[in-house]
Amino acid sequence: RAVAVIMVGGPTKGTRFRPLSLNIPKPLFPLAGQPMVNHPISACKQIPNLAQVYLIGFYEEREFALFVSSISNELRVPVRYLKEDKPHGSAGGLYNFRDLIMEDNPVLLSSYSHVIYSNNRHIGERSHIFLLNCDVCCSFPLPEMLEAHRSYGGIGTILVIKVSPESANQFGELVADPVTNELLHYTEKPETFVSDRINCGVYIFTPDIFTAIQGVSSQRKDRATLRRVSSFEALQPANRSLPTDFVRLDQDILSPLAGKKQFYVYETMDFWEQIKTPGMSLKCSGLYLAQYRFTSPHLLASGDGTKNATISGDVYIHPSAKVHPTAKIGPNVSISANARIGAGARLVSCIILDGVEIKENAVVIHAIVGWKSSIGRWSRVQAAGDYNAKLGITILGESVTVEDEVVVINSIVLPNKTLNLSVQEEIIL
Ligand code: GDD
């Protein structure tokens, strides 16, 4: 039996995703025409004996309720949203819902000690918990990871990838044994270079992970008690502000348990990116569109037939969108529901959200056009296309109006603005 848990965070996270996260929880922002979290959920369908997918977060229940029921029906995977009352950290969130997650495993539930291990031998196959960060974009090679995890026999297997040495410090850097794949050393976002192998935020655990998390939590409690009775706090400033039930998987679990034959790594050679900013969401939309060629070719628009627009490269067009046959679209374009694309419009590398109108002969390049916005005739909304730069793509928030013949370059426009003059390198508040 296997369960999958996807960490979706909450409204206080994802601030770098503004202004797009002002309208919609970041995990529901569409990439390649599907909510961000659909991509890992779809990948979970490849897990053998999957009983349930849980989304754990601290967004309001109602923000996920509709989504969860529609995605469960659409993908025929049971999905359930579990709301934390406050952030517990990536490991604390998992631990908080341990009883639910292990629901069908009464033997494992009754105790978190080494008894589990011996009991489990009688059960035969151990159960597996897949844990996925919602804000990563990759091919999620879960069956391959599972096979590796089984052969290692540890309590956890981490998906890792090699990145450029310059970019590694944005992630958890790690060192693994090249032969046994054991995790030997782990440092979260280190200031000085440790390794170009990084943590992808995708894991497989055995239920023993709960013992490890509980260990950290009780250690914190002991320290807190000690602090109350002595001046211990002054000696341990780093631990002063962390509540006992706040446990981070990376710093609090992986770092101290590295080199103890508990964690192993599985390296992917496929694509992987982290989705913290709107710029990266545009890049990742393109990566998922490219993946559709292999996984869901029916989702890609084809330019066949005289009635259709000219399509080049990977393009997603929602069935309810209306695209004029003389428009030219692609590559890396995704057009959401009820959008209208006028005659002679040219769209390259962009995400067009629900209800947008792009009028005749307008051009959109390297941009995200927010819900119900409108772009006037002969206007241009564009950017240089540097996904990592703050103004590397142009973003229009919800209900922005760009009037006819206006040029918007390398800019961010907050919701409900009307632009009647051209702008460049500006943030319009
Ligand atoms: N439910 C819940 N509760 N989710 C959380 C919480 C929490 O308290 N804190 C974080 N998350 C979710 C985020 O939404 C995200 O999907 C994931 O957990 C990881 O977020 P962070 O803990 O903020 O870490 P990070 O994204 O900066 O870095 C982590 O992921 C990288 C890979 O994407 C680290 O593990 C890095 O080492 C790793 O490289």
DSSP 382-394: E----TTSTTSSE
The number of the ligand 1 atom at minimal distance from the alpha carbon of 6 is 16
Q: What is the pLDDT of residue 125?
A: 55
The number of the ligand 1 atom at minimal distance from the alpha carbon of 58 is 1
Contact present, 249 and 90 (Cβ < 8 Å): yes
Does residue 202's CB lie within 6 angstroms of at least one atom of ligand 1? no
Does residue 133's CB lie within 6 angstroms of at least one atom of ligand 1? yes
The number of the ligand 1 atom at minimal distance from the alpha carbon of 246 is 8
Q: Which helix (H) or strand (E) holds 369?
A: strand 363-369
The number of the ligand 1 atom at minimal distance from the alpha carbon of 198 is 39
Between β-strands 50-57 and 2-9, what pairing exists: parallel, antiparallel or unpaired?
A: parallel
How remote is the CA of residue 323 from the centroid of ligand 1, in Å?
38
Q: What is the pLDDT of residue 118?
A: 41
Q: What is the pLDDT of residue 311?
A: 96
Q: What is the pLDDT of residue 307?
A: 67
- What is this structure's pTM? 0.91
d(CA 130, CA 200): 13
Does residue 394's CB lie within 6 angstroms of at least one atom of ligand 1? no
- Which amino acid is located at 400 in the chain? V
| Complex ipTM > 0.85 | yes
d(CA 84, CA 73): 24
Does residue 247's CB lie within 6 angstroms of at least one atom of ligand 1? no
231-251: string of b/e by CB count within 10 Å (b at 16+)? eeeeeeeeeeebebbbbbbbb
Which candidate, 357, 370, 295, places its Cα nearest to that of 140? 295
Tokens of 232: 């211990």
Residue nearest to atom 39 of ligand 1 (CA): 171
Residue nearest to atom 12 of ligand 1 (CA): 9
Chunked into runs of 10 residues, the chain (429 residues) has average pLDDT values of: 95 84 92 97 95 95 90 91 94 94 58 41 66 97 98 97 97 98 97 97 97 87 73 55 85 95 97 96 98 96 77 96 96 98 98 98 98 98 95 97 98 97 95
Residue nearest to atom 1 of ligand 1 (CA): 57
Residue nearest to atom 28 of ligand 1 (CA): 171
The number of the ligand 1 atom at minimal distance from the alpha carbon of 189 is 37
Q: What is the pLDDT of residue 242?
A: 74
d(CA 273, CA 37): 14
- Pocket mutation for ligand 1, best pick of 6, 13, 189, 205 (most atoms within 8 Å of C-beta): 13
- Which amino acid is located at 240 in the chain? R
